[in-house]
Amino acid sequence: MAKKKESRQKKINVRVDFTPMVDMMMLLITFFMLCTSLAKPQTMELSMPSNDKNMEDEDKSVTKASYTVTIYVGANDKIYYVAGLPKYDDPSCLKETTWGKDGIRKVLITHVTEDGTQPVQQVMLAKAKLDEKKAADLNNTMPDSVYQRELSKIKAGIINGEKIQTMTVIIKATDKSKYKNLVDALDEMQICSIGKYVIDKINPDDEKLLKEKGVE
């Protein structure tokens, strides 16, 4: 009697083709590389107080008081300012304002110096003209590098080839103030195109002034 032939299953060699996956990965890598190179980091120019002990006192006070505004960031989203340098023996110099265009921004833009000028407004008008020139540049003759260079000149007070004195803003935050409010104050510096501003510490005279006005 003949033996039945046992049926053997054929082994199928499974071969996974990774070519489409590699192609997809290359496309994704290229995409993310382009996005990274095109994304412009949001930078902020920040001037800090000098620690140079050899600097003369007269060099430290080159900026006139009328070209200075001191901002105090307090608790409960409060903001105060002094038009000029604080007069610690006169608490009435400290005034309360609000955030936004009708508050501290308006204070900075409309600030008039002893020379009768409005430095922040002058800088903002010059920046507006630069922005118009950039928007009308359809042939891209003004790349971003040139625009930023011209903007830096304007913030430094170089307008139409002439040098003007710009505003200096001193920002001081109390211990009970919010970090968000400090960031908001820095945002106002960028909106108003103020190139010279410092974040300073609250000193004992400031504490006395704020206490007399009931500021936390």
pTM of the model: 0.67
Q: How far apart are CA 128 and CA 112, in angstroms?
A: 20
64-108 pLDDT per residue, tens? 788 889 999 999 999 999 988 888 888 888 999 999 889 999 999
Q: One digit per residue, pLDDT tens: the chain, 216 residues?
A: 555 555 566 666 667 677 778 888 888 888 877 776 555 554 444 444 444 555 454 444 456 788 889 999 999 999 999 988 888 888 888 999 999 889 999 999 999 988 888 999 999 999 999 888 888 877 777 788 888 888 888 888 888 888 888 889 999 999 888 899 999 999 999 999 898 888 888 889 989 988 888 887
In the numeric block, the tokens 């430094």 are attached to: 156
**188 and 105 Cβ atoms separated by less than 8 Å:** yes
Element counts in the chain: helices (H) and strands (E): 7, 7
pLDDT at 107: 92
**β-strands 68-73, 168-173: how paired?**
parallel
Q: Coil, helix or strand for 167?
A: coil
Token readout for 208 is: 């006395």
pLDDT at 59: 47
Q: Coil, helix or strand for 169?
A: strand
State the Cα torsion 28-33-38-43 to the nearest 10°.
120
Q: Indicate left, alpha or beta for 84 from its phi (over 0: left) and psi (-120 to 50: alpha).
A: left
